[in-house]
Chain A
Amino acid sequence: MASKIVTFTLNGRRIEVLVKPLTTVQTLLRDQLGLTSTKAGCKQGGCGSCTVLVNGDPMMSCLLPVEDVQGQDVTTLEGLTPTPGLHIIQEVFYENFAVQCGYCTPGMVMVSKALLDHNPRPTREEIIDALTGNYCRCTGYEPIIQAIEEAARRMNGN
């Protein structure tokens, strides 16, 4: 089995990893690097709980071979969270009761981050559209949508 060394930027730090052929970014993060904020939900690209940002764009880490991110910039929830404290998006999720069981939350936060980076003042429809690939079976989505609206307000300084 031809394992390969892959170099990429993870949460702002250049890292070098040795992976077996076709190892996914999800497996690397969770099983090799111990970064478990990226969840393993359906492993089918259907639930969004494993969403990470590749060069700022959301992707399903369960479908993404590590070798494909050679030289790219990958961000997970660990990279978003300041020490100490919380990112604004995490704060508003907490304050708006947008978290229940929490399993979808890392994916939801990562998509929200990408959305607000691409579009600092999203409409409600644009928020819903961005969240389409992320399933939440607890909240009914409304608190999540409101949290993102609140995050947009705070990040735009009003």
Chain B
Amino acid sequence: MNTREYFLPQSVNEATQLLAKHGPFMLVMAGGTIAMPLINEGISFPQKVMGLRRAGLSYVTKPNGKITIGAMSTLTQMLDLKEIPILQEAAHQVGGWAIRNMGTVGGNLFAPPPAGDFAAALMALDAQLKLVSTAGARIISLTDFYTGFMTTALSPGELVTEIQVPVPTGKMAYLKYGRKHANTPAVVTVAAQIELDGEGVTNSRIALNAVGPHPIRASKAEEILSGSPLNPATINMAASAAAEECEPFSDAIATEWYRRKMVEVYVRRTLTKITDRR
């Protein structure tokens, strides 16, 4: 390890100033559950690292119609979010207890697939991100945040400081399929929120993870559901569309072929779970 400097800013202000000063050559680390293994293994050897554990970003507040989560809130903290059960489920299915005590909501947004399942759940909930730099702050939707594999819409000097989740109005379900019961990378993860007016779907958000370069929306599946009744026929159509439009990859967990098959199965099961909850 040859890290020459480790910064531990005590506020967001100090963090953005450090980022402005040291620029893109400084690794920004949240809980360290992704960065530290790479550093320990000698795969990554950043000269400068900034840790955010003391930057005052570990909070959950509930202003009107919204839940705001500080980017350094741990996944363990998410287990208390009774208002949004799919966030509780998604958090609980990440790692084991010690990892959930370290891994953060903000850090999970940057976890390359097949990690990053919590971000998929946030995507189904239409989460917005607050990005802060020395120049000011802006809000961007999580769906627009990702631009490619390990690339995002973050400008140089910007930090994700907060995740804002509108209190959900639809019915939700979350299914993660891995090779083990727990503490497992995903073959595929599906998070969905469906708003219904009687039988018909008025609005739907389906997010997938581990089957693309980052958490993705299954927009063709969403289009099929929109305006249709949520019945087995439309669910099957949406599931096939999702399997067709996703971009799975092969790794040690599953092949591209298998992941695609499982997208169909798990989108169907997730949507069926929502109909069962009516």
Contacts and interface: CB of A to CB of B under 8 A. Distances in A.
B102 A63 contact: yes
Interface in A97-122: 111, 114
Contact of B36 (A62, A129, A132): A62
Interface stretch (A64-72, A80-88, A149-157): A64-72
Contacts of A48: 96, 98
* Most chain A Cβ neighbours within 10 Å, of B32, B96, B102: B96
Given A64-B32, A132-B183, A21 B98 contact: no
A131 to B, nearest CB: 8
A68 B4 contact: no
Interface string B85-98: 00000000001111
A1 interface: yes
A148 interface: no
A93 B33 CA distance: 29
Given A21-B6, A63-B102, A65-B51, A43 B32 contact: no
A147 interface: no
A114 B101 CA distance: 12
Interface in B69-106: 76, 95-99, 101-102
B37 A44 contact: yes
Nearest to B48: A21
Contacts of A54: 101
B111 interface: no
A96 interface: no
A74 interface: no
A57 B8 CA distance: 21
A46 B98 CA distance: 10
B33 A132 contact: no
Contacts of B1: 20, 22
Given A22-B6, A68-B54, A60 B98 contact: yes
Interface string A19-45: 011101000000000000000000111
A76 interface: no
B61 interface: no
Interface in B172-219: 182-183
Contacts of B54: 68, 70
Given A59-B98, A68-B54, A133-B98, A45 B6 contact: no
Interface in B1-52: 1, 3-6, 8, 31-33, 36-37, 39-41, 49, 51
A58 B98 contact: yes
A63 B101 contact: no
B101 A59 contact: yes
B8 A22 contact: no
B260 interface: no
A132 B32 contact: no
B207 to A, nearest CB: 24
Nearest to A111: B97
A60 B74 CA distance: 14
Nearest to B96: A133
Nearest to B184: A132
A45 B33 contact: yes
A64 B30 CA distance: 11
B21 to A, nearest CB: 15
Interface of A: 1-2, 4, 20-22, 24, 43-46, 48, 51, 54, 57-60, 62-65, 67-68, 70, 111, 114, 129-134
Interface of B: 1, 3-6, 8, 31-33, 36-37, 39-41, 49, 51, 53-54, 76, 95-99, 101-102, 182-183
